Structure 1
Amino acid sequence: MNTKHSFSPEQLAQIKEAQAAASSLKEKGELLSENALDLIIREARSHNGWLDKPVPDELLNQIYDIVKMGSTSMNTCPARFLFIRTQKAKERLKGCLAPLNVNKVLAAPVTVIIGHDLAFYKHMPKLFAHNPGAQDLFKNNELAANTSAFRNGTIQGTYLMIAARALGLDIGPMSGFNNQAIDEEFFKGTSIKSNFLCSLGYGDTSKIFQRLPRFEFDEVCEML
């Protein structure tokens, strides 16, 4: 297997440009504001109820434009996002949901099925072109491929949630559904498998509950 990196003059120029851009970003020294941190993580809440306010398709495109730039191992980018927007699509999804999640999904303007492509490695000649042998690490190793697809697809799903909040939307991630039913309904005949769901929209704050407790640093963290 050839794993030696061979860069063309054009690629070397692109590398130099990327290095300069990364250095420039660091030199700016600008951190997220306290309000921004609250918006995307610290004070943000998962939502169960939704206002009757649509989410424009342009905003969904903006979210993905942020998500696609997030890091994945070897730039595999295995996540696949199916945006359930129409009433017809919601009815197809309805039969795959746990009963407690049906109304949440039907009321949400958009619910995303976050999946991952188990055959992501087929795209590595494009996404990881500087290493011609990278595809072979997964093509004949089902365990490695499945593990990498699930791990990196989950990471990209997290990017989606953060990006949505950063652009002013609320989120409602959920795992109360039948993965096999979703895969049969939406991904039959493909190499894509569902991971989790996330509703997007403008949350109805009158329907949230008190914040549940979290662990403190010393309870779950250790420094060696």
Structure 2
Amino acid sequence: MMAPIDDAALDTLFRQARTYNGYTADPVSEADLHAIWDLMKMGPTSANQLPARLMWCVSDDAKQRLADCCSAQNAPKVLKAPVSVVIGMDIDFHEHLPELFPHADAKSWFEGNEDLRKESAFRNSSLQGAYLIMAARALGLDTGPMSGFDADKINAAFFADTPRVRVNFISTLGHGDPATIFDRSPRPAFAKFNSIA
């Protein structure tokens, strides 16, 4: 059994971490992106599905293509961020299960049932997107996850060559500029949204 992490780590991951609308000029390296993946891939997904497919938008061209798919409010955030990432989900993730989950014939659980694959890909790629946020925070980076985009446009712009991959959500990434955040929104006490049966 692992020991609890200390307060400084809890602050970094949760209590002091924020969603950023803008970033400093400090760069984000390709090594940073690899480090994020190497942490987030360790988070649990059902039968180790790992359905998330990430498109890291680093070049000005890629960021412009992504911004063109975003709402008027979100497009400037994408253009100004050092990196933006499209968190996609592979509807045919099951094809990789013989490698990723060799303990059982998990591929057969999903063959011929696209509705089940879509549901599972969405749920588990959402988990992986959350792991991305936490991995970035653990590595001293900040994120700005968002909706507010045209999914069909993103799929056409970034996943045309892999049509079984579809966008789940997007996020900006960098070293957050504190001037771009709002006051923290309310976080209710346990009793408001929790029950114990």
Q: Which range, TM-score by smaller chain?
A: over 0.9
Q: Which residue of 1 aligns with 2:125?
A: 153
Report the TM-score when normalising by structure 1. 0.85
Q: Distance in 1 between matches of 2:53 and 2:96?
A: 13
Question: Partner of 1:104 in structure 2?
Answer: 77
Higher alpha-carbon Rg: 1
Number of aligned residue pairs: give it: 196
Structure 1 residue 131 displacement after superposition: 1.1
State the secondary structure of the residue aligned to 2:195. Answer: coil
Q: Which runs of 4+ in 1 moved over 2 A?
A: none
After TM superposition, give the deviation of residue 215 of structure 1 in Å.
Answer: 2.1
Report the counterpart of residue 196 of structure 2 in structure 1: 223
CA distance in 2, matches of 1:179, 1:32: 38
Matched to 2:136, the amino acid is A
Partners of 1:116 and 1:178 lie apart in 2 by 16
Deviation at 1:189, TM superposition (A): 4.1
Map 1:46-85; keep pairs closer than 5 Å: 46-85=19-58
Q: Establish whether residue 139 from structure 1 lines up as the match of residue 105 from structure 2.
A: no
Give the CA deviation at 1:193. 0.6
Letter in 2 for 1:49: G
Q: Give the unaligned 5+ runs of structure 2.
A: none
CA-to-aligned-CA distance 1:55-94 (integer Å, 9 cap, x gap): 0111110110011111100111101111000001111112
User: Unaligned 5+ residue runs, structure 1?
Assistant: 1-25
Partners of 1:92 and 1:86 in 2: CA distance: 10
RMSD of aligned alpha carbons: 1.0
CA deviations over 1:153-189 (Å, ceiling 9, x no partner) = 0000100000000000011111111111100111114
Identify the residue that residue 114 of structure 1 maps to in structure 2. Answer: 87
Return the letter of the residue paired with 1:38: D
Q: Percent identity?
A: 44
Paired residue secondary structure (1:89): helix
Compute the displacement of 1:130 (Å): 2.2
